[in-house]
Each structure stands twice: as C-alpha cells, then as structure tokens.
Amino acid sequence: MATQQRLLSHFADRNGSERQNSGWAELWDTDQSDLWDRGTPSAALIDWVESHPDQLQSLSGLHRPRALVPGCGKGYDVAMLALHGFDVVGLELSPRGAQVATSYAEAELAEPHDYNFGEQNDTPDGGIGSVNIITADFFDKSWSQNEAESSGQKFDLIYDYTFLCALHPDMRQSWAQRMLELLSPSGILICLEFPLFKELHELGPPWPLQGVYWNLLAQGGDGKVDGHNGDISDDAPVSAIGPFVRTSRFKPERSYPNGKGTDMVSIWRRK
Ligand SMILES: C[S@@+](CC[C@H](N)C(=O)[O-])C[C@H]1O[C@@H](n2cnc3c(N)ncnc32)[C@H](O)[C@@H]1O
C-alpha cells in the first residue's frame, strides 16, 4: 500500500484524542516511522534561523533562547536548533519515539551532519544549546508546568512542522490555545505550512491545512476551514480578532520535496 494510504487507513476509525494518541504510539512501536520521517531537519527553518541572528537575540535577551518542537518525531529539528545555540525541548507522545529522538540528538550533538547547517556552516559563537526530550502529550498541562517551574521561562520559539496536520481537526482549537499558553510574550511561533497541496475535503493525516493556520491564529476560528469560512488567500485582512498576529509569510527557497513546491513559512506573534 502507498505510504499516504497506509497512514490514512491506520487512522481511519480513530476519532477521539485517546485513540489518536494510541495510533501514533502503535506506529512507533511497530517501526513505521518511515510513514512521515524525512531523514533531515527542515532546510526552511535552518535558513530562517541563520538569516535572523539579531531577531533571535532580541527574543531571549540575556538568556539562551528556548525552543519547543512539539511532536518532534526522531528529533531532527530539535538537534539542529540546539546546534544553532537554542536550549530545546522536543516533545513526543510515544515513549519509543522519545527514545529514538534522545539517541539521535546525543549522536548529532557529538558529531553533527553537514545537513544541520546552511550558509552559516557552523555553530554560533555562543556554542551548542541543550536538548531535553520529554515524553508527554502536548495537550497535557503537567509537562509544561514542570518545565516552567524548572526553567522559569516560556518558549521564545516554537516550531510546528507536521504536528498540526497530524492532529484530528477536532483538536485544532486546543492546539492554538496551547501555543498561546506556551509562547513567551515576545516569542515567535514558526509554522512550516504543510500540506497545502491537498484539497480541503480530503482526509488525513496529514490533514490538509490550506487556510487553517490563518483561521485558527489570526481569526480565532476553530480551524475547520472548508474553503468557504476561512480566508485562504495570502493577502488576507490584518484586522483579525484571533490571538496571534502573522508577521510574515513566505515561500522558502528550500523545503522538503514532498511539499510539492507549495510549503509556506508563516511567523506569528502573540497580540
Ligand atoms: C507526522 S509525525 C511528525 C514528526 C516530526 N515533526 C518530523 O517532521 O519528523 C507526528 C509526530 O507527533 C507525535 N504526536 C502526535 N500527537 C501528539 C501529541 N498529542 N503530543 C505529542 N506528540 C504527538 C507522533 O508520535 C509523531 O511522532
């Protein structure tokens, strides 16, 4: 069966968050992470981070910037951000997935692949940050309360790639609410929007997301966009009532081939 079809069939009758969660755990436990694993960190994120050193510095002030990668999978982006000087939390529901991510990050920080870097080609002067892989459900508040207590800080940068599209549409509003809770007041949420090439009526995961980020974050909607109730254009109105402001949206020069040239990067701040 084709990869996309295998993923769809696996989740076909799994409504409700518990059944969704056990679905992901089962895929990890049966070694099926090939269904989504792209084998490298996001080139689009590498390029953005390397070309915005001043903005990143201003996000965090005196402390090392703190990043969160929810649904981190094998942890490619977690290790890459640590190699760019962030203290990073990778969050993974599956204990097996978290184990894989921990080993990957350890190996990568000790001996990084070249694919972690773009033009910059090396770790910045401040040195490598830390990696903390946490096994938890993004929607469960206890992991973040423990985190906030131990670090005293929220996240300066949150990166979402193939996390929102992995969640059932019923969970989208809670996703936006959690992002709001977890981001520091001056922090940024970076989304590599995928998949944008799928028609909105198609099933997931990956669930089609055209117009969904805008609806959830800028318009404060429930994210159940069907092409009629969400503004899916690039020049959507800025006078929106949602909890976030989109500060930029652009087509990255480099992204994964499976985005079919349609991936977009959007950057959000709390209002
Ligand atoms: C489509 S995969 C993407 C993984 C990773 N972002 C990547 O690009 O390789 C989605 C991941 O999110 C994890 N996940 C799903 N629901 C989650 C939740 N509620 N909390 C934390 N992780 C979750 C799954 O176990 C899976 O590893």
pLDDT tens-digit readout, 40-82: 999 999 999 999 988 877 877 778 899 999 999 999 999 999 9
CB of 45 closer than 6 angstroms to any ligand 1 atom: no
The C-alpha angle 156, 158, 163, rounded to 5 degrees, equals 170
Average pLDDT (235-259) is 84
pLDDT tens-digit readout, 128-143: 999 999 999 999 999 9
CB of 102 closer than 6 angstroms to any ligand 1 atom: no
Tell me the torsion sign for CA atoms 254, 257, 260, 262: negative
pLDDT tens-digit readout, 177-231: 999 999 999 999 999 999 999 999 999 999 999 999 999 999 899 999 876 655 5
Selection from 2-6, 120-124, 173-177, 202-206 with the highest mean pLDDT: 173-177
Predicted pLDDT at 60:
75
- Mean pLDDT taken over the chain: 91
State both tokens at 259: 């985005």
Predicted pLDDT at 78:
98
- E strands, the chain, are 66-70, 87-92, 131-135, 155-161, 183-193, 244-250, 264-270
Distance 164 CA to ligand 1 centre (A): 9
CB of 137 closer than 6 angstroms to any ligand 1 atom: yes
Q: Is the predicted pLDDT of residue 149 greater than 80, yes or no? A: no
CB of 259 closer than 6 angstroms to any ligand 1 atom: no
Strands 244-250, 264-270: pairing kind: antiparallel
- Look up residue 115 and give its amino acid: Y
State both tokens at 125: 């002067």
Predicted pLDDT at 238:
54
**By alpha-carbon position, which residue is closest to atom 14 of ligand 1?**
71
CB 234 within 8 A of CB 228: no
Distance 198 CA to ligand 1 centre (A): 20
CB 45 within 8 A of CB 117: no
Ligand 1 atom at shortest distance from the alpha carbon of 139? 19
CB of 24 closer than 6 angstroms to any ligand 1 atom: yes
CB of 165 closer than 6 angstroms to any ligand 1 atom: no
**By alpha-carbon position, which residue is closest to atom 13 of ligand 1?**
71
Domains of the chain with bracketed CATH: 32-270 (3.40.50.150)
Distance 70 CA to ligand 1 centre (A): 7
CB of 223 closer than 6 angstroms to any ligand 1 atom: no
Strands 183-193, 244-250: pairing kind: unpaired
Q: Which residues are bridge partners to 70 per DSSP?
A: 91
Predicted pLDDT at 103:
98
